[in-house]
Structure 1
Amino acid sequence: MLLTKPEDAEEFTVHGVLFRSYARSATGAGTLGAWQAAFPPNTPGVPHHMSVEEVFRVLSGRVQVEIGDERAELLPGDAVTIPAGSRFRVSNETEEPATAWIVTPLGMTFTIEGTTNTVKPPWAQ
Structure 2
Amino acid sequence: MPVIRTADIESHQMHGSTFTPLVRPATGSAELCVWRLEIAPGIQGVAHRIHREEAFVLLEGSLTLTIQGECTTLTPGDAAVAPAGSTIRLDNPAAAPAVVMVTAAVGFTGELPDGTIVNPPWVN
- Shorter-chain TM-score bucket reads over 0.9
Uncovered stretches (5+) of structure 2, i.e. residues with no partner: none
Q: Which residue of 2 aligns with 1:60?
A: 60
Q: Which residue of 1 aligns with 2:2?
A: 2
User: After the TM superposition, which residues 1-80 of structure 1 pair with which residues of structure 2 at under 5 Å, given as runs?
Assistant: 1-80=1-80
Q: Distance in 2 between matches of 1:13 and 1:59?
A: 19
Q: Distance in 1 between matches of 2:79 and 2:54?
A: 10
Q: Distance in 2 between matches of 1:116 and 1:41?
A: 27
Q: Distance in 2 between matches of 1:9 and 1:31?
A: 19
Amino acid at match of 1:120: N
- 1:47-106 per-residue CA deviation (whole Å, 9 max, x = no partner) reads 000000000110000000000121000000000000000010001011111100000001
Q: Distance in 2 between matches of 1:88 and 1:98?
A: 16
Q: What TM-score does the superposition give when structure 1 sets the normalisation length?
A: 0.96
Distance apart, 1:116 and its partner CA: 1.5
Q: Which residue of 2 aligns with 1:119?
A: 118
The number of residue pairs the alignment matches comes to 124
Q: Which residue of 1 aligns with 2:104?
A: 104
**Secondary structure at the counterpart of residue 10 of structure 1:** coil
**Secondary structure at the counterpart of residue 108 of structure 1:** coil
Uncovered stretches (5+) of structure 1, i.e. residues with no partner: none
Q: Distance in 2 between matches of 1:49 and 1:59?
A: 24
Identity among equivalent positions (%) equals: 34
Q: Distance in 2 between matches of 1:59 and 1:5?
A: 19
Q: CA RMSD in A?
A: 0.7
Q: What TM-score does the superposition give when structure 2 sets the normalisation length?
A: 0.97
Distance apart, 1:5 and its partner CA: 1.4
